[in-house]
């Protein structure tokens, strides 16, 4: 419950994802932290900063394209920002803005996971704040020499080459590691930062885009059996540090990853439930069989059945008597392995208000359906 002690954290971006909002919501709930996190679309950074100060926001995340632009807006720079020239996390303390770059954690973990060797040619696409972060890890911390950059923005790429001693892109090189730090590949963006031929001839791919998690670039890496690190892995790793800054509490990557996997699992359950309702409506027995567990249980106000065969036969019986099935979904919510579906069901002229409580096993098969009339 929101009260006078509740702390508010937000993210600011031109194209925000829902990842932070969902994960922080679960983490604050799980660890009983009196805080709220929401994402906002902004176009004017100055107006956003003024609003943040006025509304007493406790902290905020910064995404493209504001990671460098916000440097002049903060009062105190953490060492992580001084090293990289990029900010993705701001803590508000006594109306002072303190800037951090927790992307460093995610970038370093990505470099370790992809296992770059000293002679590898590395190509970075993009020249914004994220590029600065990964370039610092590659050149200053890991001491890799062959780091090239490609960007449509000549001004920012020229400065980045000078600041971190990078090499200019040339199409005469074969690149072993491809790193996307650009917006290319984000939701509704069909373009990819590297051609399929580049991916086919490389050793590994790192993509900082986390929405969608399975970008077209990552799909190409999988297609050609290349090593890859996706944006979700990077985001969850940086979040371990960001969470500590916001809450003054340490949290492991495993705990954050477990929270994310649970969110993903619940998203799948909701999708399967919608498919179940569609298969019921269209009398699709074969598809129903695929999503039912062998020992499924079905219970309603008149019946109590056990086993896939009995449940399928029960549905056959209903379908044989009914010509028209209409299902109106009022609300579908998920808690752990259980879906609650509030429905209006019309069987020919018979109208029913139903609550279906659908439970799934860990293999995402339906193990029980309890139907209640309202």
pLDDT value, residue 56 = 86
Kindly report, as residue ranges, where domains of CATH 3.40.50.720 are found in the chain.
Answer: 104-236
- The yes-or-no verdict on residue 251 having pLDDT over 90 is yes
Can you give 86-145 as a three-state secondary structure string?
Answer: CCCEEEEECCEEEEECCHHHHHHHHHHHHCCCCCCCEEEECCCHHHHHHHHHHHHHCCCC
CA nearest neighbour of 365 among 283, 261, 288, 310: 288
- The yes-or-no verdict on residue 203 having pLDDT over 80 is yes
Which distant-in-sequence residues (6+ apart) come within 8 Å of 199 by Cβ?
A: 178, 205, 217, 220, 221, 224, 226
Q: How far is 306 from 330, CA to CA, in rounded Å? A: 28
pLDDT value, residue 122 = 97
- In the chain, pLDDT over 90 holds for what percent of residues? 74
Q: What is the mean pLDDT of the chain?
A: 92
76-94: pLDDT as tens digits? 999 999 999 999 999 999 8
CA nearest neighbour of 367 among 338, 333, 327, 331: 338
20-78: pLDDT as tens digits? 898 999 999 999 999 999 998 888 999 999 999 888 899 999 988 899 999 999 999 99
161-192: pLDDT as tens digits? 999 999 999 988 899 999 999 988 887 777 89
Q: Which residues are catalytic?
A: 67
- The yes-or-no verdict on residue 4 having pLDDT over 90 is no
pLDDT value, residue 262 = 87
Which distant-in-sequence residues (6+ apart) come within 8 Å of 261 by Cβ?
A: none
For the domain made up of 104-236, give the CATH fold: Rossmann fold (3.40.50)
pLDDT value, residue 3 = 83
For the domain made up of 265-373, give the CATH fold: Nuclear Transport Factor 2; Chain: A, (3.10.450)
Which numeric CATH code is attached to 7-101?
3.40.50.10860
Kindly report, as residue ranges, where domains of CATH 3.40.50.10860 are found in the chain.
Answer: 7-101
Give this prediction's pTM: 0.79
- The yes-or-no verdict on residue 213 having pLDDT over 90 is no
pLDDT value, residue 1 = 67
Residues shown for the chain: 374
Kindly report, as residue ranges, where domains of CATH 3.10.450.50 are found in the chain.
Answer: 265-373
């Amino acid at each position: 419950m929101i009260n006078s002690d509740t702390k508010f954290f937000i993210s600011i971006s031109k194209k925000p994802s829902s990842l932070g909002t969902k994960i922080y919501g679960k983490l604050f709930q799980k660890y009983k932290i009196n805080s709220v996190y929401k994402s906002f679309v902004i176009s004017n950074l100055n107006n956003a900063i003024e609003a943040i100060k006025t509304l007493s926001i406790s902290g905020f995340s910064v995404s493209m394209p504001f990671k460098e632009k916000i440097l002049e807006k903060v009062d105190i720079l953490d060492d992580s920002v001084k090293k990289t020239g990029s900010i993705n996390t701001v803590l508000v303390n006594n109306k002072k803005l303190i800037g951090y770059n927790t992307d460093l954690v995610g970038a370093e973990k990505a470099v370790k996971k992809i296992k770059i060797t000293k002679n590898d040619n590395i190509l970075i696409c993009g020249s914004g704040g994220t590029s600065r972060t990964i370039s610092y890890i590659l050149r200053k911390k890991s001491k890799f020499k062959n780091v090239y950059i490609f960007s449509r923005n000549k001004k920012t790429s020229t400065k980045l080459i000078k600041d971190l001693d990078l090499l200019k892109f040339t199409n005469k090189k074969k690149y072993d590691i491809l790193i996307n730090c650009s917006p290319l590949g984000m939701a509704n963006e069909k373009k990819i930062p590297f051609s399929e031929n580049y991916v086919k001839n490389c050793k590994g791919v790192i993509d900082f885009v986390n929405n969608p998690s399975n970008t077209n670039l990552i799909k190409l890496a999988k297609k050609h059996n290349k090593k890859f690190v996706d944006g979700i892995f990077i985001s969850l790793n940086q979040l371990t540090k960001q969470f500590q800054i916001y809450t003054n509490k340490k949290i492991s990557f495993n705990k954050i990853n477990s929270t994310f996997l649970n969110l993903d699992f619940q998203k799948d359950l909701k999708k399967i439930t919608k498919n179940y309702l569609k298969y019921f409506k269209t009398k699709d027995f074969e598809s129903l069989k695929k999503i039912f567990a062998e020992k499924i249980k079905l219970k309603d106000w008149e019946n109590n059945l056990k086993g896939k065969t009995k449940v399928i036969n029960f549905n056959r019986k209903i379908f044989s008597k009914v010509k028209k099935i209409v299902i109106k979904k009022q609300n579908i919510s998920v808690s752990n392995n259980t879906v609650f579906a509030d429905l209006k069901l019309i069987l020919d002229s018979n109208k029913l208000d139903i609550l279906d409580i659908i439970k799934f096993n860990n293999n995402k098969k339906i193990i029980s359906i309890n139907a209640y009339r309202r």
